[in-house]
Amino acid sequence: MADAYQIQSNGDTHAKPLLELYVKASGIDARRIGADLFCQEFWMELYALYEIGVARVEVKTVNVNSEAFKKNFLGAQPPIMIEEEKELTYTDNREIEGRIFHLAKEFNVPLFEKDPSAEKRIENLYRNFKLFLRAKVEFDKGKKEPSRVEDLPAQIKVHYNRVCEQLSNIDQLLSERKSRYLLGNSMTEYDCELMPRLHHIRIIGLSLLGFDIPHNFTHLWNYILTAYRTAAFIESCPADQDIIHHYKEQMNLFTNQRETLQSPTKTHTIPEKVLSDIRNKGLAPDVNVH
């Protein structure tokens, strides 16, 4: 039923709980990870627990349309987490997060620190991006190339402006905090939420909207670069093609063979110019401009 994608366990395997995470497979190839944001979010959190030796983690991709999947999980949708030792199946995001929360608490992992001001800045970004995406894709219907932002009518430009405003707010927050992750030097649930969403915005912006995250948001780009150097993100990140396919499917757009036949690739680099700005500002001192 499922193709196993297994993270190798590190060290002693007996005392640690084994958590199996079932994630949605790509619509292109059921052996590849799909672009479900909640799946990636929990995968990143589990990876954080795995990295410090608190839990064993196995991730499995599942084809939600297969009869075998439907029959085994009776209507539950990924992400689904199973803890066999306890005979527990967590089919609800609240339950999955509850279990990860308790493990993190038990081992003093600061994964769930609260920060209302960071929460406020990130909560509307993705919703507004989706409104922009839907409106612009509708407007561009039948055009060969995505229209330029300058040419958009006011009612679509308002969505564009909101997305930029929110990206700017996050850039601002990061510049004030001067930290690697949103709350400090270690990853929290906010990063597990924001990083995959920023990456989707980038990949879908470039491929379907003729939109890129503004290059002057240096701190935001530096944060994206951090994502591309964070094992929890890299490991759980779907290929560009699988992300594009996911959105095209939902918007009922024509899927050309570009995505389905290409070898999967992952854009985990940032524009040269932005990279040099990051270096000039003395952020991320380990960055070498190519």
130 is an interface residue for a copy of itself by CB under 8 A: yes
Q: Which is nearer to a copy of itself, 133 or 244 (CB)?
A: 133
The rounded distance, in Å, linking the Cα atoms of 270 and 49 is 28
**In the numeric block, which tokens belong to residue 20?**
């199996």
Backbone angles phi, psi at 59, to 5 degrees: -115, 135
Please tell me the distance from the alpha carbon of residue 238 to that of residue 196, in angstroms, as a whole number. 10
- Cβ atoms of 163 and 129 within 8 Å: the answer is yes
Buried b (16+ CB within 10 A) or exposed e, 249-267: eeeeeeeeeebeeeeeebe
Q: Is 89 in the site for a copy of itself (CB under 8 A)?
A: yes
The Cα 111–Cα 99 span in angstroms is 13
**Residue 133 in contact with a copy of itself, rule: CB under 8 A:** yes
Near a copy of itself in 20-49, by CB under 8 A: 36, 38
| Contact status: 94 vs a copy of itself (CB under 8 A) | yes
DSSP-based three-state secondary structure for 59: strand
Residue 87 or 286: which CB sits closer to a copy of itself?
87
- Give least dist CB 22 to a copy of itself, A: 15
| Closest CB to a copy of itself among residues 137, 182 | 137
Asked if 72 is part of the footprint of a copy of itself (rule: CB under 8 A), the reply reads yes
Smallest gap from residue 272 Cβ to a copy of itself (A): 32
Report the b/e string of 112-141 with b at 16+ CB within 10 A: eeeeeebeebbeebbebbbbbbebbbebbe
Among 13, 185, 252, 288, binds a copy of itself (CB under 8 A): 252
Which single residue is written with the structure tokens 């994608």?
5
Whichever of 200 and 219 has its CB closer to a copy of itself, that residue is 200
Q: Tell whether residue 262 is a contact of a copy of itself (CB under 8 A).
A: no
Among 15, 74, 154, 261, binds a copy of itself (CB under 8 A): 74
Q: How many residues at the interface with a copy of itself, by CB under 8 A?
A: 28
Residues that bind a copy of itself (CB under 8 A): 36, 38, 67, 70-72, 74-75, 77, 87-89, 92-94, 97, 123-124, 127, 130, 133-134, 246-247, 249-252
